[in-house]
Chains A and B, each alone.
Chain A
Amino acid sequence: MNRLEGNRFDRQLQEKFENFTPEVSGRLWDNIIRELEGHAETVPLKRHRHKGWWMSAAAAALLVSAITYWYNRPVEVTYLHGRAVEIPEEPPVGAVQPETPEYSQGPAEEQQADAPVARRLRRAQASQLVAYTVEGPEVGATDETMPAPVERIDTAGEPRLADAIVLRPEADVLPATVTLAHVPEIQPLVDRDEGDVLLASTEREKRSLGLSTILNYVVSTVDQREEKLVTFSNDGEGSLKLDFNFGLAKNRKKIDRKSN
């Protein structure tokens, strides 16, 4: 079809549709009115998109925060505290060392193994070992980070858990009157004489205490004097403190000048 023929075809169609007016459905105007009246109340599409953008941004920020926290979360570190235990060669009068696993390898224990059972029982009753019990949180701890209150059990008149533990391996030869003490669930055995009773302390305190001890040890290996130039310690909140002995430094300068 050439251009002229095409134009003629187009013109014929134009003339055909020039006065073409199909009948319009009556409901259309009602729809238009309803749309126009609700137009002011309808929320523009852009606002929806804006809201959706903020929601996406908030979700992304939340996700990034969660991932960051996950990779930087506090990791619980356990510091091992080694405690030197001195085994007395001769137990003091009236104080008998129990046959706990820590004390069962010395020569004194070999002698005790030969002693009569009744004598060992009396010694055990007179032992300085006491049982401490750790009460639960209902006792009234004022600070969650502080150790739970310690209550000493009055063990007078009845055998202690220490006694029972000591005598268990030879239970077949014990008198029938020996009974187990009624104690709560946890009763760690602690040597009272050592003074530094290890109670339920917070992890934070343990960490800071260990760090200052290590640092002081390092300083002591370098500085052999009785008074150290630098001393590390911990305050009540567990923060590491650095004490610098300025007097020692001044004295050292004076000594150096005199020597020169």
Chain B
Amino acid sequence: MERTVTVDQLYKGCKAGNRQTQEALYRMLAGKMLGVCMRYASDTSEAEDMLQAGFIKVFTNINSYKGSGSFEGWIRRIMVNTAIETYRRKVRMGQQLDINGFYEEAQQTFSMDALECEDLLRIIQELPAGYRMVFNMYALEGYSHREIADALGISEGASKSQLSRARTWLQTKIKQLEGGTYEST
């Protein structure tokens, strides 16, 4: 009879520093966490760096997990925090871009069923870093504008503005990808 091991059951072994348990946890969550990192990163290489740094933080700071919430959710937050650190480092280096020309375009609703995740991911990765961070944190992770503003060092208004512009920019890009054949719902 095959025994299913959950992420929470691996917590104790990881806390004890058991290398086999740590590897089991990594094998179980690496793919999913890489998907998270790829939405925040500008390319796959940067996403893998985030994933590596994130798992090292998980294993070295595992004592800071107090048991509130799921262990997987805690690991996911660490990945997002690692992505935020990477973004802030890039901002300090002056790699901050803006998007222009899409803000006032007409909005449309459409279905993304025909699009592959890799296509959507590529479009998201083309977003300027600041917009990508705000969009991922708000639309896909569920952070509030207040939390985003604190994490990124911007105002709440800037967070809202960047979210709106990122959405518009993404929809325009998806429209170009689909050849303008949107399915209104």
CB contact under 8 A between A1 and B167, given known A16-B112, A22-B31, A24-B31: yes
Residue-wise interface mask of A (1-18) relative to B, using a CB-CB cutoff of 8 A (1 in contact, 0 not):
100011011101110110
CB contact under 8 A between A35 and B51, given known A14-B140, A17-B120: no
**A-chain residues with CB within 8 Å of residue B35 when the two chains form the complex:** 17, 20-22
**B-chain residues with CB within 8 Å of residue A31 when the two chains form the complex:** 52
For the complex, would chain A's binding face be called helix, strand, loop or mixed by DSSP majority?
helix
Check B117–A20 contact: CB distance below 8 A: yes
Interface presence of B181 (CB below 8 A): no
CB distance from A169 to the nearest CB of B (A): 87
Residue-wise interface mask of B (120-139) relative to A, using a CB-CB cutoff of 8 A (1 in contact, 0 not):
11000000000000000011
Check A32–B60 contact: CB distance below 8 A: no
Smallest Cβ-Cβ distance to B164: which chain A residue: A1
Interface presence of B76 (CB below 8 A): no
**B-chain residues with CB within 8 Å of residue A5 when the two chains form the complex:** 107, 109
**A-chain residues with CB within 8 Å of residue B23 when the two chains form the complex:** 29
Interface presence of B143 (CB below 8 A): no
Check A39–B60 contact: CB distance below 8 A: yes
CB contact under 8 A between A10 and B52, given known A16-B117, A24-B30: no
CB distance from B70 to the nearest CB of A (A): 16
Interface presence of A41 (CB below 8 A): no
Interface presence of B56 (CB below 8 A): yes
Number of interface residues of B (CB under 8 A): 37
Interface residues of B in 83-126 (CB under 8 A from A): 107, 109, 111-112, 115, 117, 120-121
Sort chain A's interface into a size bin.
20 to 34
**A-chain residues with CB within 8 Å of residue B52 when the two chains form the complex:** 28, 31-32, 35
Check A32–B55 contact: CB distance below 8 A: yes
Smallest Cβ-Cβ distance to A37: which chain B residue: B19
Interface presence of B59 (CB below 8 A): yes
How far is A1 from B102 in the complex, measured between Cα atoms in Å? 12
Interface presence of B26 (CB below 8 A): yes
Interface presence of A224 (CB below 8 A): no
Interface presence of B34 (CB below 8 A): yes
Interface presence of B46 (CB below 8 A): no
Interface presence of B145 (CB below 8 A): no
Interface presence of A255 (CB below 8 A): no
Check A28–B48 contact: CB distance below 8 A: yes
Interface presence of B168 (CB below 8 A): yes
CB contact under 8 A between A1 and B32, given known A10-B139, A16-B120: no
**A-chain residues with CB within 8 Å of residue B34 when the two chains form the complex:** 21-22, 24
Q: List 15 A-B contacts (CB under 8 A).
A: A5-B109, A6-B164, A6-B167, A9-B139, A10-B140, A16-B120, A17-B39, A17-B120, A17-B121, A20-B35, A25-B48, A28-B30, A32-B52, A32-B55, A39-B60
Instruction: Taking A13-B139, A13-B140, A16-B117 as given, write out 11 further A-B residue pairs in contact, using a Cβ cutoff of 8 Å, ordered by the A residue number.
Output: A6-B167, A14-B140, A17-B35, A17-B120, A20-B35, A21-B31, A21-B34, A24-B34, A32-B26, A35-B52, A39-B60
